[in-house]
Each structure stands twice: as structure tokens, then as C-alpha cells.
Structure 1
Amino acid sequence: MIIIKLIWESFRFAIQALKSNLTRTVLSLLGVTIGIFAIIAVFTLVDSLEKNIKSSFSFLGTNVIRVDRFPFGGGGEYPWWKYFQRPTANFQEYQFLKQRLRNADGVTISASTSATIKAASNSYQGANLEGVVFDYKDVYEVPVENGRFFTELEINSARNVALVGVKIARALFPGQEALGKELKIKGNKFVIVGLFKEEGEGLFDMPSKDEAILVPFGAFTKLYNVGQFGIEPTIAAKGRDDDIGLIALENEMSGLMRSKRGLKPTQEDNFALNKSEFIQNAIGSIFDVIGIAGWVIGGFSILVGGFGIANIMFVSVKERTNIIGIQKSLGAKNYFILLQFLFEATFLSLFGGLAGILIVFLFTFVPLGSLEVTMSFKNIMLGVGLSSAIGIVSGIVPATLAAQLDPVEAIRSA
């Protein structure tokens, strides 16, 4: 009960401090408000940007290792021209890995190019045409909203069927249901068996399912030259959730690829194993630096705000010296006085911090084009916790002075 009483009295005194000299109190709390606003605003923008950028690279998949000629991280140890001499991945290597990989949940091969899609008098230029196998859905997300994915028979027999993005479907069949309709790719007819779920505009001009069209890998190879001197296919394997860092999968894939390509122990790899997390980790590192900058910028404002809270508390102690003396004469312990002023300082700091959080929340409703800004619960709790900490630190010295007042001297001060 004593804690509840302390909290209630501290809250009441904090409200009185706000009411007694509103201008002074608001100006003093402005530092906390600006500091919390700066830090939470930076973190909210950083989190939103990072989320949007990473989602733009979602086409790379999650927990996926790709077999490429070039590494994602560049190749400083080799001249760039050596990578061009490396052989491209092929269908036989895909089958070899599919039969032997034990640390993968799925293995796929695909090839893609930009294409013009036609239907009657309508056309769509720049569509991302991709030839896939049946295992593609085990490695990458295939969000089919209407219709279905390819059957294994359609893939194996290289039938002319297609999954189409909403932008392509609307351009080719305006105001019509595209499912079951025919479209043409390089003069060849394809039947639409499925439509992707709409993704919307991304932050960057990255491949999107809205502008994608999938066809069986065999049908794709009939349209385009795939291989060393044509479109380069990519083999990808999805790792298991318990394989932290995909270490087991990477080692197994490396050994199998070296075996398949007949590399001797002394020979270097003539392939690159690229993890999809490499780009995401690089993006995360950049935003970590931005986050530190946010702490520095907001830290100076919070420091000023902390001095403002301390100033309010020193004034409050001086104004209530007589009340403190009366409380002590009636038996109030030092810790009761100490906690009372600490709670009051915390409440005052929280008022400033909540004002800063509210301003950030209101800013999330401001349209910023394709960037969707959202305020996470983590950032809200960070703001609340930081405000409370500033209140405690700022109020500890005034609260200690109040607790150590002599009751007789305090009463005489009236």
C-alpha cells in the first residue's frame, strides 16, 4: 500500500508542478521531448528503411545459398576477368546436388531475362520472365493468390503454362479475368494457370512478383539459349533452420560442386557460393552506424533535458521544504521522502518523453512515397525506458537533499 501511496502522491505533485508554472515546466521538459523525439524518430526511420530495403531483396530468398560465378562481396583476391572464365551452373549439376544434398530443404535451378509479353493488341515490356523447376517453390516463396503453381507433369513435359504478376495481367487483360487466358512470348502461346499476390511498389527498382512471369524451365530453354554462351542459370539451395549460418550446407555444397567439376585438392574453386543473408547483413551494418548517430544527436538533447528536470526538482524541494519538515515530524522516513521526489522526477520526465513519442507516432501518418514508416513496440518501450532513466538520474540528487533535511529547520523555513 505504501508504494501505491507514494506513486499517487508523486503523480499528484508532478501534476501540480506542471500546473503551478506551466511555461517554466514545459520549457524545462522540452529538452527531454526533443531528445526522445530525435532518438525514436531516427530508430523508427532506420527500422522502416531497413525493413523496406531488405524486403526489396526478398527475391534472393531466406536461408538460401546460390551457385554463381561471381561472389556477392566482390573478388579482391582475383582479377575480375577470371570470374568470366568460370563455367556456369547447369541442369546436370542441379540434378547432382538435388540427389546428394542432405542439409538442404530444397534445391532448384532457374534462369531469367527481360521479355515483352503480348496478348491480342496489348503488350507489356520489361517483364521479368523466369524459367523454373518444380522444386522452385521449396526454395523461394511463391505467393499465388488465384489459380495454382505448376504441376510436376507440366514442368517435366515443358508445357506452355505461366504464372503471371498482377501488373502484367492488368496490362494484357484490362477489366478481365486473366486466369485461363492465353498470352504470347516470342510468338509462342502460354496459358495462365496462376496469378501472383500483389506486392505493391517497393522502395527500390528491384524485381517484383507484380512484374514477374514464371514458366517451366524446359519451356524457357525452348525460347532462349541457356548456358555458358547464353542466359546464365542459377542453382539455389534452401538451408535448414537449425543450420546456423548455413555452415553445414555451405561445406556440403562446396564439396559436391568440387567433386562434380572434377577439381583437385590443390585447385581453387571455380564457382562462388553466395548467401542471401550477405546483402541483408551488409545493409544491417550500415544502419547500425546510422543508429549510433541517432544516439549521439538525441543524447545531447536528453542531457539538456536532464538538467531541466533537475532544475524543476531543486525548485520543487525548495518550495516544499516546509511540507517535508511536517511529513518528517509526523514520522515519515527518509526513504519515503527520497522515493517521493524520485517518482515525481520520473513522472515529469515521462511526460516529456511521451510527448516526444507522440510526435514521432503522428509523423508515421505522413506519406513518404513508397517508404512505409511504422513505429514498433520496441521503440515505444525504448522511449519510455529512456525517459524513466533520465528522470531517475536527474532526480536522485534533489531527492537525496530533500530526504536529508532536518525536520525542525525545514518547518522553520516557512
Structure 2
Amino acid sequence: MKFIRQILESFRFAWQALRSNLLRTTLSLLGVTIGIFAIIAVFTMVDSLERNVKESLNFLGDRVVYVQKWPFEFGSEYRWWKYFQWPEPTYNDYRALAERLENAEAICAMGGRGNVIVKNGNNSLPVRISGVTMDYNQISEVPIGEGRYFAPQEQESARNVVIIGSEVAETLFPNQYAVGKIMKINGLNFQVIAVQEKKGSGVLEIGGNPDRRCLIPYGTFAKLFQSIRPSVTIAVKGYPEDEGLQNLEGEIRGLMRARRSLKPTQDDNFAINRPEAIAKAIGGVFAVLTIAGWVIGSFSILVGGFGIANIMFVSVKERINIIGIQKSLGAKNYFILFQFLFESVMLSLVGGLVGVFLVYLLSFIPLGNLDVVLTAGNIALGLGTSSLIGVLAGILPAISAARLDPVIAIRSK
């Protein structure tokens, strides 16, 4: 109990010292404040970007591979001249895979066309039209707010039915229940069978703003927009027990090579893409930004740490007589050491708190589609870093104060 009381007394002395030199305290914590602000601001922006990007990629699905013409490759040597000669995947490829794949939980064909004007009376809106087959809702999220998903008969007979996004419903059917209403796409009447829940646009907006998209049966889409030999994107979802989707990918590769009569010595002329490739490439960018945040913030923190250490040495020199009196009255070395160590840590911690608070204020600034959120992890990182800087900056001055000879210290005045 005596030890705890002395620790608390050391804390009280440190607090009084900071309060008695408010201007010096304020100037000393600026360096740490700027450093913590730089680091936590970068981390918060990177985390927010990463979260928003992942949300933007959610529509690509989980455990899904895509059979396409152009591979997902990120680097300086994208061999576009080679991929340009590859044939487009077709609807017949999709049918062949759907009939023969044994390791697929779901498979669908997709096509898209952007900037298509949809109308209802005098109301119109440019949207993205996506033609999808029946299993699309098992591959990608289709959160139905009102109405229902496509029926098998509607897909098979290529009926003019449409699932619309929330913004499409609000624009074409203001203050109305849209399900069951008629709208026009390319001059043809389509019946609205469902309205999706409002999602909001993501940072990347891959595939377009989901609130401004319309889903129609793939057969209907092919009749409206595509030629006699339409190209498609084929999405295939694997089973959970297929670790790494190796079995699924191998089966797709074998079937596609057989369909295209490729010899064993010939390379694939199609791409089997994974959404993880996009996430991995973006993750590399985030890693660079994180390192940049540490580098930028470290310089400020280094300057702030030296500033705090300098102030602490000055504080020791100013209070050397008081230290001598305390030691002559029986104060232990750790009592003196904790006084200055607590003072240094509190000084740095206040700077860290101010830096974190500035980042919190930054999160209220509107940045378009980017939703900036200061997480508890980043708050803990900022406060932990500032506390560590306080310990490192104050340990030498505190040790020098604790080792003072009480007789010499008293005479110093």
C-alpha cells in the first residue's frame, strides 16, 4: 500500500508540474500531436478505403471464379496483344460448363450494357442493364426489398421482366409502389417484379452503382443488345469443402480446353479470374500507403520525442533543489523517477489524444462515396504509440533525476 501511495503521489507531482507550465507543455506536445495525427489519419484513411473497396467487391461473390477473355493481371507487362486474339466466352460455353461441371455449387452467365435510358412517362434515367441467368442470386448478392426474384419460366422464355435498383424506383416511380408497374427499356415494355434494397455506391463502383442497375433475364438481354454470337462472363461458385477452389478451377480448365480443341503444348486462350487478385493488388497499394504513413508520422514523432526529452532535462534542472529536499526527507529513487516519467508520458499522451481527436474530426468531412471511420484499433494504436514515445523521451531525464545526490542537489540553488 505504501508503494501505491508513493506512485500516486509521484503522479500528483507530475500533474502539478505540467499545470504550472501550461505554455511550455502546449508547445512540447505539438510535435507528438502532428506525428500521431499523420499516422492515425493515414491508417484511418487506408482502413476506410480497404473496407469500402471490399464492400464494392462483395457483388463479385464468395468462392467464385470467373471465366473471361481478359485476365486479372496487375503489373507493367500486361500482354494485351496476346489476350486480344483470344476468343470471347459464349453462352454455349456456359451451357456446356453448366451441364458437365461436378464441382460447381452454382453457375451463371452475365452480360452488361451501360448508359441505357429507362423511362416511365416523363421520367427517365441512364442505368446499367445486366442480363443474368437463373443462378445469379447464388453467385452475387441480390437483396430484394420489395417483390421477388426471377421465376424459372421467366428465364427460360426470356420474358420482359426486370429487377430494378432503389434509385431507379425512386426516379421512375416517385412516391409509388413500383412492383407490378411497367417501364420502358429500349422502347420495349418491361414489368417490374422487384426493387432491390438501397446499397449506396462504393468507392470502385465496379459494375456500376447498384442502386442504378437493372437486372433482366439473360435471354431477354441477348435479344435486346447482343449479336448472333454474344459474349458473356461466366461466374462459377465452388463448394466450401473445395479448399482454394483447386478442383473447380482444374475442372473448368479441362472442359474449356477440350471445347476449344487446345493441344497439350498450347497455352490456355481464356482466363480463369478470381476476385482475390483484385483485392491482392489493392492490398499492395494499401501496404505502401501504410508504410508512407509511418515514415511521415515518424519524423514528426521523432522531433516531438526530442522536444519532450529536452523539456524534461530542463524540468529536472529547474527542480533539482526540490529533488534534493525530497530525497533528504526519505524519498526513494523510484519516487523521483516516476515523477518525471509520469510527466513525460502524460505530456506525450495528451499530444496523442489531441492528434486522435483531430482525426476524429476529420471523419466528419464528406469525401464523396468514401465513409471514413476512426476505429478503436487505430485509437489504441495512437495512444499506445504516444505513451511509448513518452516513456522513451522521459526515461533518461527521470534516471538522471533519481540518481542525484541529495546534498549536492540541495546546495545547487
Q: What's the TM-score, normalizing by structure 1?
A: 0.88
Which residue of the partner structure matches residue 64 of structure 1?
64
1:387 to partner: Cα distance: 0.2
Q: Is this contact kept in 2: 1:313–1:341, CA < 8 A? A: yes
Which residue of the partner structure matches residue 31 of structure 2?
31
CA distance in 1, matches of 2:202, 2:179: 25
Which residue of the partner structure matches residue 266 of structure 1?
265
CA distance in 2, matches of 1:196, 1:162: 11
CA distance in 1, matches of 2:217, 2:271: 26
Q: Which amino acid is 2:237 matched to?
A: K
Which residue of the partner structure matches residue 359 of structure 1?
358
- Which residues of 2 match residues 228-377 of structure 1 at below 5 A? 228=229, 230=230, 232-239=231-238, 246-329=245-328, 332-377=331-376
1:197 to partner: Cα distance: 1.5
Pair 1:124 & 2:125 matched: yes
Q: Which amino acid is 1:93 matched to?
A: D
Secondary structure of 1:270's aligned partner: coil
Using a 3 Å threshold, how does the CA distance of structure 1 residues 319 and 29 change in structure 2: closer, same or farther? same
Q: Is this contact kept in 1: 2:43–2:290, CA < 8 A? A: yes
Secondary structure of 2:192's aligned partner: strand
Which residue of the partner structure matches residue 223 of structure 2?
222
CA distance in 2, matches of 1:50, 1:12: 43
Farther off after superposition, 146-155 or 209-218: 146-155
1:171 to partner: Cα distance: 2.5
State, as a whole percentage, how many aligned pairs show the same letter.
Answer: 55
Pair 1:389 & 2:381 matched: no
Which residue of the partner structure matches residue 164 of structure 1?
164
Which residue of the partner structure matches residue 192 of structure 2?
192
Q: Is this contact kept in 2: 1:145–1:197, CA < 8 A? A: yes
1:7 to partner: Cα distance: 5.2
1:375 to partner: Cα distance: 1.2
- Which residues of 2 match residues 38-77 of structure 1 at below 5 A? 38-73=38-73
Using a 3 Å threshold, how does the CA distance of structure 1 residues 409 and 256 change in structure 2: closer, same or farther? farther
Using a 3 Å threshold, how does the CA distance of structure 1 residues 311 and 201 change in structure 2: closer, same or farther? same
CA distance in 2, matches of 1:76, 1:413: 68
Q: Which amino acid is 1:180 matched to?
A: G
CA distance in 1, matches of 2:240, 2:350: 44
Q: Is this contact kept in 1: 2:118–2:183, CA < 8 A? A: yes
Q: Deviations over 1:282-315 (max 9, x none)?
A: 2222232222222222111111110121123223
Which residue of the partner structure matches residue 108 of structure 2?
108
- Which residues of 2 match residues 169-180 of structure 1 at below 5 A? 169-180=169-180
Which residue of the partner structure matches residue 146 of structure 2?
146
Q: Deviations over 1:242-262 (max 9, x none)?
A: 766554543343233223433
Any unmatched runs of 5+ in structure 1?
A: none
Q: Is this contact kept in 2: 1:6–1:339, CA < 8 A? A: no
Farther off after superposition, 113-122 or 26-35: 113-122
Q: Is this contact kept in 2: 1:90–1:227, CA < 8 A? A: no
Q: Is this contact kept in 2: 1:88–1:227, CA < 8 A? A: no
Q: Is this contact kept in 1: 2:7–2:335, CA < 8 A? A: no
Q: Deviations over 1:37-94 (max 9, x none)?
A: 1111222223333433454444434443211111122798786344343232233433
1:331 to partner: Cα distance: 5.1
Q: Is this contact kept in 2: 1:325–1:406, CA < 8 A? A: yes
Secondary structure of 1:200's aligned partner: coil
Q: Is this contact kept in 2: 1:168–1:210, CA < 8 A? A: yes
Q: Is this contact kept in 2: 1:158–1:219, CA < 8 A? A: yes
1:336 to partner: Cα distance: 4.3
Q: Is this contact kept in 2: 1:68–1:274, CA < 8 A? A: yes
Pair 1:13 & 2:13 matched: yes
Secondary structure of 2:267's aligned partner: coil
Using a 3 Å threshold, how does the CA distance of structure 1 residues 106 and 5 change in structure 2: closer, same or farther? farther
Q: Is this contact kept in 1: 2:257–2:268, CA < 8 A? A: yes
Q: Is this contact kept in 1: 2:14–2:339, CA < 8 A? A: no
CA distance in 2, matches of 1:301, 1:239: 49
Using a 3 Å threshold, how does the CA distance of structure 1 residues 59 and 227 change in structure 2: closer, same or farther? farther
Q: Deviations over 1:335-389 (max 9, x none)?
A: 4443443233212210111011111111211223333222122211110111011
Q: What's the TM-score, normalizing by structure 2?
A: 0.88
Q: Which amino acid is 1:225 matched to?
A: Q
Any unmatched runs of 5+ in structure 2?
A: none
CA distance in 2, matches of 1:255, 1:318: 79
CA distance in 2, matches of 1:102, 1:320: 81
1:210 to partner: Cα distance: 1.1
Q: Deviations over 1:90-121 (max 9, x none)?
A: 33433443455455543221111133323234
Using a 3 Å threshold, how does the CA distance of structure 1 residues 116 and 378 change in structure 2: closer, same or farther? same
Q: Which amino acid is 1:28 matched to?
A: S
1:30 to partner: Cα distance: 0.8
Q: Is this contact kept in 2: 1:117–1:183, CA < 8 A? A: yes
Farther off after superposition, 330-339 or 299-308: 330-339
Q: Is this contact kept in 2: 1:139–1:237, CA < 8 A? A: yes
CA distance in 1, matches of 2:89, 2:408: 88
Q: Is this contact kept in 1: 2:148–2:194, CA < 8 A? A: yes
Using a 3 Å threshold, how does the CA distance of structure 1 residues 194 and 403 change in structure 2: closer, same or farther? same
CA distance in 2, matches of 1:167, 1:82: 40
Q: Is this contact kept in 1: 2:131–2:216, CA < 8 A? A: yes
Q: Is this contact kept in 2: 1:180–1:193, CA < 8 A? A: yes
